[in-house]
């Protein structure tokens, strides 16, 4: 591995362009002239590209346990017990891979170099791994937990960490290895279906946006078409179009020059339909956020405590969101570039969903290429490790219940400046002080 030679004092010393487009070597990058030409050619996205609402109601997150008549509280308990059991066996039986470098020795790099490394060493001839595993640094500090598929027949405890090269095993490239019986460690199917439905409903009411400059979200279309639009083929051969984009939903965003106050991110409050749609979306994804909270609490208990305390100080949707993440990036049908998320504090969780082929998770510094199928969970240090989702293609045809094909993802994260500001703040500080704009309204004045 080539990432462990030099020491760098801090990641902020890295020579990385702020604007990914500034580096012409960047993967699939366009030069300034091409950007200008493309921007000039962008017209208003028409309603034919709108994201349609789903048909009918959302799937219950408890669908698997619902056969017996049980109260919601018991159903939730069952769902958490099942996830808890998976996490216990993940901890016991999933393999661990160790890097030769310590996290603080991670070599400075650029998106261009990382993309080049991925192209050379993790290209089409390297099959993505269908796996669940842990990746740690030379001091056994966790870097990545990947909750995908595990062979239930493999009940050997794995106390020893292996080299990064050991992640590539021919038996772990598909789900049809003879004699294997798989368990999925990620989001259960009903919760995953609900996440997809709730997100499509959100995007149908609140159109996701894509900036005219291509950033980490967005790649030029290979057919030269409008990058803001995904095309997919219906079963009758006709072509439909759908807009792509992203929503940043952050309860307590720091704005430049205002270091003692926080703000609800623009996507939440910009329009009255946005306010209504985001509340409904938080409510619809409450149980899913609860399951992800359990994952963080089990795998990273110390980080969970810190995040949860800051979450409780900053939360706005207190009845709809159990925490511990104050930020969500809703990535709707976008292609992704090599990047890291410099403003994330610690670990974030990303979860892909939809109907698509391709879309593998590539983390060059861990030499990892993961199959990253819908519902798999990638819990990792997204501000330290470069990552890219490889190009994907939508499956043909409309999916069940009016769901449109293509790949989307949610990233649950905690913005670092928000975390820092909230560290000494009491519970519900954000709600009770209008995020630092008024005196605490919960204090009774005698």
Q: Which residues bind Fe ion (CB under 5 A)?
A: 341
End-to-end CA distance of the chain: 66
Residue with Cβ nearer ligand AKG (290 or 352): 352
Please give the Cα distance from 300 to 346 (Å, whole number).
10
CB of 382 to Fe ion, least distance (A): 5
Say how far apart CA 19 and CA 110 lie, in whole Å: 11
d(CA 185, CA 119): 29
Q: What residue 329 binds from ligand AKG, Fe ion, none (CB within 5 to 8 A, per partner kind)?
A: ligand AKG
Q: How many CA atoms lie within 13 A of 349 on its CB side?
A: 26
Q: Which does 190 bind (CB under 5 to 8 A by kind): ligand AKG, Fe ion, none?
A: none
Residue numbers at the binding site for ligand AKG (CB under 6 A): 216, 329, 331, 336, 341, 350, 352, 387, 389, 409, 411
Binder of residue 98, out of Fe ion, ligand AKG, none (CB less than 5 to 8 A by kind): none
What is the C-alpha separation between 39 and 210, in angstroms, rounded?
12
Give the residue with the Cβ less far from ligand AKG, 296 or 389. Answer: 389
| Nearest distance in Å: CB 352, ligand AKG | 5
* C-alpha to C-alpha distance for 382 and 341, rounded to whole angstroms: 6
Q: 364 vs 430, which CB is nearer to ligand AKG?
A: 364
DSSP for 343-372? Answer: TB-S-EEEEEEEEEEE--EEEGGGTEEE--
Our CB check for ligand AKG shows the closer of 188 and 375 to be: 375
- Min dist CB 117 to ligand AKG, Å, is 17
Judged by beta carbon distances under 5 to 8 A according to partner kind, the member of Fe ion, ligand AKG, none in contact with residue 409 is: ligand AKG
Q: For residues 383 and 432, which CB has a smaller minimum distance to Fe ion in the complex?
A: 383
Nearer to Fe ion by C-beta: 200 or 348? 348
Picking from 99, 106, 101, the residue whose alpha carbon sits closest to that of residue 16 is 106
Q: Which is nearer to ligand AKG, 65 or 387 (CB)?
A: 387
Nearest to 378 by CA among 50, 171, 147, 47: 147
Q: Are 30 and 21 in contact (CB under 8 A)?
A: yes
365 interface partner picked from ligand AKG, Fe ion, none, CB below 5 to 8 A per type: none
Which residue lies nearer to Fe ion by CB, 197 or 382? 382
Residue 339: CB minimum distance to Fe ion, A? 6
Question: In this structure, what DSSP letter does residue 400 have?
Answer: G
Q: Which does 194 bind (CB under 5 to 8 A by kind): ligand AKG, Fe ion, none?
A: none
Which partner in ligand AKG, Fe ion, none is near 131 (CB below 5 to 8 A by kind)? none
Q: How far is the CB of 301 from Fe ion (least distance, A)?
A: 24
From the list ligand AKG, Fe ion, none, partner contacted by residue 202 (C-beta under 5 to 8 A by kind): none
For ligand AKG, the closer of residues 186 and 430 by Cβ is 186
Residues in the chain, how many? 446
Is there a contact between 259 and 421 (Cβ–Cβ < 8 Å)? yes
Residue 357's Cβ-count burial label (10 Å; 0-12, 13-18, 19+) is exposed
| Binding partner of 336, given ligand AKG, Fe ion, none, CB within 5-8 angstroms per partner class | ligand AKG
390: closest CA among 375, 368, 405? 368
Helices and strands per DSSP (H, E), number in the chain: 10, 18
C-alpha dihedral (332, 354, 83, 289), degrees to nearest 10: 20
Peptide bond before 324: cis, by omega within 30 degrees of 0? Answer: yes
Residue 331: which of Fe ion, ligand AKG, none does it interact with, CB under 5 to 8 A by kind? ligand AKG
The DSSP call for residue 209 is: B
Q: How far is the CB of 388 from ligand AKG (least distance, A)?
A: 8
Helix 286-299 / helix 72-93 crossing angle, nearest 10 deg: 30
Give the residue closest to ligand AKG by C-beta.
409
- Tell me how far, at minimum, the Cβ of 401 lies from ligand AKG, in Å: 22
Q: Which residue number, 75 or 370, has a Cβ lying nearer to ligand AKG?
A: 370
Closest separation in Å from C-beta 407 to ligand AKG: 8
As beta bridge partners, residue 251 has: 264
Q: Shortest Cβ distance from residue 219 to ligand AKG (Å)?
A: 12
Nearest residue (beta carbon) to Fe ion: 341
CB of 322 to ligand AKG, least distance (A): 22
352 binds, among ligand AKG, Fe ion, none (CB under 5 to 8 A by kind): ligand AKG
How far apart CA 348 and CA 159 sit, in angstroms, is: 26
Q: How far is the CB of 351 from ligand AKG (least distance, A)?
A: 7
278 or 350: CB nearest ligand AKG: 350
Number of Cβ within 10 Å of residue 73's Cβ equals 8
């Amino acid at each position: 591995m080539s990432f462990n030679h030099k020491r760098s004092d801090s990641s902020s010393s890295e020579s990385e362009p702020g604007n990914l487009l500034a580096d012409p070597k960047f993967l699939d990058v366009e030069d300034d002239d091409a950007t200008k030409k493309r921007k000039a050619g962008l017209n208003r996205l028409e309603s034919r590209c709108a994201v349609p609402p789903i048909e009918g109601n959302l799937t219950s997150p408890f669908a698997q346990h619902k056969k017996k008549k049980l109260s919601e509280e018991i159903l939730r308990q069952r769902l958490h017990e099942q996830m808890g059991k998976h996490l216990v066996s993940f901890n016991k039986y999933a393999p661990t891979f160790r890097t030769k470098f310590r996290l603080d020795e991670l070599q400075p790099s650029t998106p261009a170099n990382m993309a080049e490394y991925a192209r050379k060493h993790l290209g089409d001839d390297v099959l993505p791994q269908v796996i669940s595993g842990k990746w740690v640094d030379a001091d056994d500090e966790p870097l990545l937990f990947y909750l995908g598929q595990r062979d239930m027949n493999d009940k050997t405890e794995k106390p020893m960490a292996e080299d990064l090269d050991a992640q590539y095993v021919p038996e772990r490239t598909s789900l049809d290895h003879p004699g294997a019986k798989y368990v999925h460690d990620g989001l259960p199917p009903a919760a995953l279906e609900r996440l997809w439905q709730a997100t499509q409903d959100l995007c149908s009411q609140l159109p996701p946006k894509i900036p005219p400059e291509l950033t980490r979200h967005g790649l030029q279309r290979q057919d030269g078409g409008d990058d803001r639009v995904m095309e997919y083929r219906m079963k009758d051969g006709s072509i439909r179009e759908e807009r792509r984009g992203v929503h940043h939903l952050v309860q307590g965003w720091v704005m430049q020059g205002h270091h003692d106050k926080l703000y609800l991110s623009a996507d939440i409050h910009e329009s009255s339909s946005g306010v209504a749609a985001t509340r409904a979306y938080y409510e619809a994804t409450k149980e899913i956020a609860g399951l992800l909270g359990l994952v963080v609490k089990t795998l990273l208990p110390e980080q969970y405590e810190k995040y949860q305390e800051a979450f409780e100080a900053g939360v706005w949707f207190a009845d709809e969101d159990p925490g511990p993440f104050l930020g969500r990036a809703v990535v709707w049908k976008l292609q992704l570039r090599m990047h890291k998320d410099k403003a994330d504090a610690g670990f974030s969780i990303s979860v892909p969903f939809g109907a698509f082929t391709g879309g593998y998770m590539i983390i060059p510094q861990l030499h990892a290429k993961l199959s990253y199928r819908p519902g798999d969970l990638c819990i990792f240090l997204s501000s330290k490790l470069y990552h890219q989702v490889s190009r994907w293609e939508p499956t043909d045809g409309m999916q069940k219940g009016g769901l449109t094909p293509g790949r989307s993802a949610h990233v649950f994260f905690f913005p670092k400046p928000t975390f820092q500001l909230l560290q000494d703040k009491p519970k519900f500080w954000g709600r009770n002080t209008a995020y630092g704009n008024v005196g605490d309204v919960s204090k009774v004045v005698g």
